[in-house]
């Protein structure tokens, strides 16, 4: 992963879903940029692996389930108590249950809503007062599918659309208090969650064919965009959804031929 040129010395960052994939790449990038980073997720060992290469005093692993509002409130309180402030929050935790709506179980739909939508709700509600105190910001990891439709992904797309509109609406509500909210919108990215498709060339091909750059995304492609939105370089950017998708959203459909 390329080292970022952003400077987050003296910044305290909280990242959900920080044990793997995009969340782990974002955590590593912030640590390389000098930040103190708290990572949360359901598997402590994965969180500790992300933090292990970096100074112990600048990392904190806090297992939590973002779908549980009480756990999220306790998580945020623990971070503020430990470090005294909160400057950047990255809402990255997410799950997916692809398939046609007629094949999507009610329990799968409930699980996606609980993590992707309720998780963002609980997190935003808990952190926004702290971010107002520090003049901080929140960056959500949404999806290009949150702004449009996609085949066989209706449930997931609906949850990401909710996240995208949460970001836009909260940016309006909290801008006067000095808080910025933005989102990155990746296309298909090779992570633990997508490894089943990523390992199968035939399954992966339709996603690659939609990109101008001719390859799927990687977590290291997404992390620098998150740091940009969290940095002073984006001090006049709020309510934005930045596509980091290899050109996917520039197209109206599949390539000809």
Give the Cα-Cα-Cα angle 5, 128, 95 (nearest 5 degrees): 75
Q: How far apart are CA 162 and CA 185, in angstroms?
A: 13
Task: Specify burial of residue 100 (Cβ count, 10 A radius: 0-12, 13-18, 19+).
Answer: exposed
68, two tokens:
């549980």
Q: How far apart are CA 61 and CA 49, in angstroms?
A: 10
Residue 236 bears catalytic tag? no
Contact 87, 14 (CB under 8 A): no
Question: 77-96: buried (b, 16+ CB within 10 Å) or exposed (e) per residue?
Answer: ebbbeebeebbbbbbbbbbb
Catalytic residue among 6, 120, 156, 174: 156
166, two tokens:
């949460």
Residue position matching structure tokens 């799927």: 216
Helix (H, G, I), strand (E, B) or coil at 109: helix
Nearest CA-CA partner of 90 in 6, 183, 192: 183
Query: In sequence order, which residues have a C-beta less than 8 Å from that of residue 232 and are 6 or more positions away?
Result: none
Catalytic residue list: 156
């Amino acid at each position: 992963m390329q080292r970022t040129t952003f400077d987050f010395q003296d910044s305290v960052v909280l990242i959900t879903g920080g044990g793997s994939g995009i969340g782990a790449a974002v955590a590593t990038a912030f640590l390389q940029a000098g930040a103190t980073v708290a990572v949360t997720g359901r598997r402590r060992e994965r969180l500790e692996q992300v933090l292990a290469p970096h100074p112990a005093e600048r990392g904190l692993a806090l297992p939590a389930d973002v779908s549980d509002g009480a756990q999220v409130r306790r998580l945020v309180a623990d971070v503020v108590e430990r470090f005294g402030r909160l400057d950047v929050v990255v809402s990255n935790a997410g799950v997916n249950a692809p398939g046609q709506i007629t094949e999507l179980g009610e329990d799968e739909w409930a699980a996606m809503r609980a993590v992707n939508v309720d998780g963002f709700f609980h997190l935003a509600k808990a952190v926004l007062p702290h971010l107002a105190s520090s003049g901080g910001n929140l960056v959500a990891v949404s999806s290009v599918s949150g702004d449009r439709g996609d085949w066989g992904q209706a449930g997931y797309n609906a949850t990401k659309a909710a996240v995208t509109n949460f970001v836009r609406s909260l940016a309006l509500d909290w801008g006067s208090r000095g808080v910025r909210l933005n989102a990155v919108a990746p296309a298909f990215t090779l992570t633990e969650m997508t490894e089943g498709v990523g390992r199968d060339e035939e399954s992966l091909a339709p996603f690659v064919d939609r990109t101008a750059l001719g390859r799927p995304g990687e977590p290291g492609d997404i992390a620098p965009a998150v740091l940009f939105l969290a940095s002073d370089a984006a001090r006049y950017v709020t309510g934005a959804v930045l596509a980091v998708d290899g050109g996917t959203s520039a197209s109206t459909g599949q390539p000809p031929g």
